[in-house]
Amino acid sequence: MSDIPRRAVTRSAKLAGLPLGVAGRATLGLGKRLGGRPAEVVTAELQARTAEQLFQVLGQLKGGAMKLGQALSVFEAALPEDLAAPYRAALTKLQEAAPPLPAATVHGVLALELGPTWRELFAEFDDQPAAAASIGQVHRAVWADGREVAVKIQYPGAGPALLADLRQLSRVARLFSVFTPGLDVKPLITELEERVSEELDYRLEAESQRTFAAAYDGDQEIRVPEVVAGTERVLVTEWMEGIPLSRTIADGTPEERDRASLLLARFLLSGPVLAGLLHADPHPGNFRLLPDGRLGVIDFGAVNRLPDGSPEPIGRLARLALLGRADEVLAGLRAEGFVKGSIDVDPGQVLSYLLPLLEPVDRPSFRFSRAWLREQAVRLGDPRSPAAQLGRQLNLPPSYLLIHRVTMGTIGVLCQLNGEADYRSELESWQPGFAAPARS
């Protein structure tokens, strides 16, 4: 058996074993409850042990498990603190760490992609990876013309491994409700599966990054590194030194947190206007605070193509909701497919559902926090709450799926940053329909 299939079998065995472990702990928990231990204490222990096993397995995997772990990691701010705290370090590690490829394997990929004389393209090349992610790892190097560059190299067999992991994960998706309250993980896994082919072709990523780099060329707040060279499995871009947002989340100053929060929101809102693209992977490992104060952005493998900018109804319906115009909001949601024609809902209840989510843009300044996100997670995720009951009647149109995921992921990161900013002004500047016309 070759090394790649052997690793795939090992991954599948670890993932397949998760439900058995959970079932065993549930049986043990039932015994403890029958033995007189308080139900809430036993439930908390089961949650903690299940989450611990999930994180341990995800942390050992590449491919789909690493990608799902990164996507979910932005939601850890919604967890109750006693459950989230032990796993915060593990989640951060998922965002930027994975076992490295041997140097000989790296050289083999470079020879296949850049030609047998690939070394002549570089003045220097560091065999030790500087960073790793779900389907590739990054090496620091110096291009032949003297520029410092980042060289992203795809793991051999990444495609089959990625799909195998995602298929396995879809079978245990319900277990992730332990640490993602109110979030249905299965549609997220399905969406990741559908986007595999795009992310595996680094030529598409190079095209997206060139578009973003041109859009933000000379920008005083945002920097996107230039693409130097690109093939299907190797991408060479300018090197960008900076502090990852994961470190700012861990120990940044209040000023750094505020600035990172503002610039992250600005970049994700302005991308559809300036580049016709939405950066669709907003986990902290993809952003840097640069020495000159700008926000640096990397990893453009996942994008949403929005040539006409962000959909105008998003801004218009948010504005109408803040004005209290419930009937118009419900009519607009029906027109966009968020409320199906056969569903009868009360306009006032819809407004009550939306307004707490719009609180960050209903004032000149707002501080996203873990406490705020936990409050929303409970409100929307508790089956007994009116908001949760209404939410089950709503529909998410396919054209809004990725926008929704990016928005939720961004809010998760902002709550981890705990920064304060004027998000209303950013929405007025960049979101069509909210207030002021979009900038050209």
Mean pLDDT computed over 41-48: 52
Same domain, 297 and 223: no
Least confident window among 194-198, 213-217, 288-292: 194-198
Give the pLDDT of residue 29.
Answer: 41
Q: What is the pLDDT of residues 64-120, one digit of tens each?
A: 555 555 555 556 666 666 655 555 555 555 544 556 788 999 999 999 999 999 999
Whether the per-residue pLDDT at 181 is higher than 60: the answer is no
Whether 224 and 282 map to the same domain: the answer is: no
Report the 10 Å Cβ neighbour count for 388.
Answer: 16
Same domain, 60 and 75: yes
What percent of the chain has a predicted confidence (pLDDT) above 70?
68
Range of the domain at 135: 103-157+198-238
Pick the closest to residue 127 from 97, 104, 159 (CA basis): 104
- Regarding whether 306 and 421 lie in a shared domain, the answer is yes
For the chain, the average pLDDT equals 81
- pLDDT given for residue 85 in this prediction: 57
Tell me if 199 sits within 8 A of 230, measured CB to CB: no
Q: How far apart are the first and last CA of the chain?
A: 57
What pLDDT is recorded for position 421? 98
Q: Report yes or no: 185 and 176 within 8 Å, Cβ to Cβ.
A: yes
More reliable by pLDDT, 145 or 133: 145
- 59: buried, middle or exposed (CB in 10 Å: 19+, 13-18, 0-12)? middle
In terms of domains, do 283 and 349 share one?
A: yes
Whether residue 359 sits in one domain with residue 288: yes
Residue 119 sits in the same domain as residue 232: yes
Domain count along the chain = 3
Sign of CA dihedral 300, 306, 310, 313: negative
- Cα 281 from Cα 104, distance rounded (Å): 30
The answer to whether residues 335 and 285 belong to one domain is yes
- pLDDT for the residue 385: 87
* Pairwise pLDDT comparison (9 vs 193), residue with the higher score: 193
Same domain, 121 and 207: yes
> For residue 296, what pLDDT is reported?
98
DSSP 85-145: GGGHHHHHHHHH--PPPPHHHHHHHHHHHH-TTGGGGEEEEEEEEEEE-SSEEEEEEEETT
pLDDT at residue 275 greater than cutoff 60 = yes
Residue 307 has a pLDDT of 94
> Is the pLDDT higher at 150 or at 42?
150
Which comes out higher in pLDDT, residue 116 or 194? 116
Asked whether 161 and 169 are in contact (CB, 8 A), the reply is no
Give pLDDT, residue 423. 98
pLDDT value of position 52: 60
pLDDT of residue 3: 46
For residue 217, the domain's CATH number is 3.30.200.20
Q: Is the pLDDT of residue 365 over 70?
A: yes
Amino acid 135: pLDDT: 80
Note whether 233 and 275 are same-domain residues: no
Give the pLDDT confidence score for residue 206 in this predicted structure.
97
Query: In this predicted structure, what is the pLDDT of residue 23?
Result: 38
Residue where a domain stops, chosen among 207, 238, 269: 238
d(CA 331, CA 338): 10
406-430, pLDDT tens digit by residue? 998 899 999 999 999 999 999 999 9
pLDDT, tens digit, 9 for 90 and up, residues 104-132: 999 999 999 999 999 999 999 999 999 87
Q: Which of 184, 212, 238 is the last residue of a domain?
A: 238
- pLDDT of the residue at 63: 53
CB 236 within 8 A of CB 149: yes
> What's the pLDDT band for 136 if we cut at 50, 70, 90?
confident
φ, ψ for residue 234 (rounded to 5)?
A: -135, 135
Average pLDDT (151-180) is: 70
Q: Do both 183 and 147 map to the same domain? A: no
State whether 281 and 330 are in the same domain: yes
